């Protein structure tokens, strides 16, 4: 029994000895709480706003038959890229060629009649110089000549119409782009009422359209208008698989009206969409962007801006808004209300409420109370990362440590 008591005493002693370092780390009762502080400093960041957008082809053409006839040939590969002028469909031509031939014959016949009428008019006018001439004969010949001239003009117009209709039997690509699957196959009768046979959408460049709230639009205008407007911003895309698209775009349009149901305006940018290196141009997907594709749109300022920034971890929030604890000359913690701008994952941009050089508490916030003396020391440095870029929209920081009280 005495052995068991000895073992218990040794175990308790060991536990007490192990707890001594931990106890030594705790501040003595009544000592100011230890906190980490950081200085509010001016830094450079690149402003960034993120929105959801949709890729849209610059040009889109619906191919519709302009004459009625049997669809004889389809001369393209569905889904492939076509060039302007490529022959895509052929409609049965013989009936239209026959109309052209008939119109030509009618013009030739009227030409012959008109030549005869001109000769008759010339003879009647020659007789007017002698005693046998009559004005009525001249008038009749002149009327006949002019009537035939008018008929020739009408016949030539009919010939031109027939030739145009014959040309419509060959349907060619009006633009460069990618063509859809055919909606009507060979052997069917097509007409202007048959609807779209196929659709061509241009490929390079592409538009990206994205709606933004009117408030955000006004903020962007105020931010960039004096710096060059559209030229002060570049557009980057994040693809659905998370990759950043390798081409940059430029804004070129802002809608002149506000959508009444969503209170948004639409912005548009033009983005290059070149062929992917190493892929065949006429392959199934030789380019990165697709018409109708959803992407994330990143608006970035061309030039970095200088802002007053503090560690993001120092910012707390309550019902009244954002605030921090500052340390005054007496080492007392004081609440300071803030207005924040765009921020990065590690930095909070302060637009009002702090001045350059003030010290804010970023570590040990759970031990801080307003007006309480603290023991301030340098905060742990943030890990070294690439230069920060402002995230989408105004920041909405939350308290990094539970239990902080205003």
**What mean pLDDT do residues 253-270 have?**
91
Residue range 312-335: mean pLDDT, rounded: 87
Considering only residues 152 and 304, tell me which one the structure prediction assigns the higher pLDDT: 152
**Total count of domains within the chain:** 3
Residue 371 placed within a domain: no
The rounded Cα 283 to chain-centroid distance in angstroms is 25
Across all residues in the chain, what is the average pLDDT? Answer: 81
Q: Could you tell me which of 195, 201, 196, 197 has the C-alpha nearest to residue 179?
A: 201
For residue 180, is it within any domain?
Answer: yes
98-123 average pLDDT score: 84
Q: What is the pLDDT of residue 169?
A: 92
Q: How far apart are the first and last CA of the chain?
A: 57
Q: Which of 201, 223, 258 is the last residue in one of the domains?
A: 201
The domain in which residue 211 lies consists of 50-57+204-305
What CATH number has the domain bearing residue 151? 1.10.287
Whether residues 70 and 196 share a domain: the answer is yes
- Between residues 134 and 292, which one has the greater pLDDT? 292
Give the chain's radius of gyration (CA, Å).
Answer: 41
In whole angstroms, give the CA distance from residue 50 to residue 72.
50
Domain end position, chosen among 154, 179, 201: 201
Residue 143 lies in a domain: yes
Domain boundary among 201, 218, 243: 201
2 belongs to a structural domain? no
Instruction: State mean pLDDT over 101-109.
Output: 90
The answer to whether residue 159 sits within a structural domain is: yes
CA 261-393-262 angle, 5° bins: 0
Higher pLDDT, 315 or 223: 315
Q: Is residue 40 part of a domain?
A: no
pLDDT tens digits for 8-61? 555 555 555 444 444 344 555 567 888 888 888 888 777 778 899 999 999 999
Taking the C-alpha atoms of residue 216 and residue 213, their distance in angstroms, rounded to an integer, is 5
d(CA 93, CA 70): 9
Do 197 and 69 share a domain, yes or no?
A: yes
| Percent share of the chain, pLDDT over 90 | 35
Helix (H/G/I), strand (E/B), else coil: 46: strand
CATH number at residue 238: 2.40.30.170
Domain presence at residue 292: yes
| Cα 197 to Cα 62: distance, rounded to the nearest angstrom | 7
């Amino acid at each position: 029994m005495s052995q068991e008591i000895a073992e218990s005493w040794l175990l308790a002693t060991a536990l007490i000895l192990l707890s001594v370092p931990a106890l030594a780390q705790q501040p003595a009762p009544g000592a100011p709480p230890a906190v980490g502080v950081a200085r509010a400093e001016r830094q450079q960041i690149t402003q960034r706003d993120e929105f959801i957008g949709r890729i849209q082809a610059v040009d889109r053409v619906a191919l519709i038959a302009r004459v009625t006839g049997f669809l004889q040939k389809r001369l393209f590969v569905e889904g492939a890229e076509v060039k302007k002028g490529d022959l895509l469909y052929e409609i049965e031509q013989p009936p239209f060629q026959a109309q052209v031939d008939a119109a030509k014959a009618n013009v030739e016949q009227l030409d012959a009649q008109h030549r005869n009428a001109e000769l008759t008019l010339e003879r009647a006018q020659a007789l007017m110089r002698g005693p046998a001439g009559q004005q009525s004969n001249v008038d009749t010949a002149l009327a006949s000549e002019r009537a035939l001239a008018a008929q020739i003009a009408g016949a030539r117009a009919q010939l031109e119409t027939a030739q145009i209709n014959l040309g419509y039997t060959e349907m060619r690509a009006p633009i460069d782009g990618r063509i859809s699957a055919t909606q009507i196959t060979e052997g069917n009768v097509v007409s202007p009422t048959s609807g779209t046979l196929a659709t061509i959408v241009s490929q390079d460049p592409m538009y990206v359209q994205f709606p933004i709230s009117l408030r955000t639009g006004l903020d962007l205008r105020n931010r960039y208008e004096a710096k060059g407007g559209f030229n002060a911003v570049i557009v980057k895309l994040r693809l659905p698989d998370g990759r950043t698209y390798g081409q940059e775009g430029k804004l070129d349009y802002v809608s002149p009206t506000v959508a009444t149901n969503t209170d948004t305006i639409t912005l548009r940018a033009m983005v290059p969409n070149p062929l992917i290196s190493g892929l065949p141009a006429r392959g199934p997907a030789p380019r990165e962007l697709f018409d109708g594709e959803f992407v994330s749109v990143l608006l970035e300022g061309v030039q970095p801006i200088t802002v007053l920034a503090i560690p993001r971890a120092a910012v707390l929030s309550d019902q009244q808004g954002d605030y921090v604890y500052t340390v005054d000359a007496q080492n007392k913690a004081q609440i300071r209300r803030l207005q924040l701008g765009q921020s990065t994952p590690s930095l909070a941009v302060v637009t009002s409420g702090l001045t350059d050089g003030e010290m804010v508490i970023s570590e040990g916030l759970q031990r801080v109370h307003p007006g309480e003396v603290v023991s301030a020391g340098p905060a742990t440095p943030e890990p070294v990362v690439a230069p920060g870029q402002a995230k989408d929209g105004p920041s909405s920081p939350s308290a990094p440590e539970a239990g902080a009280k205003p």
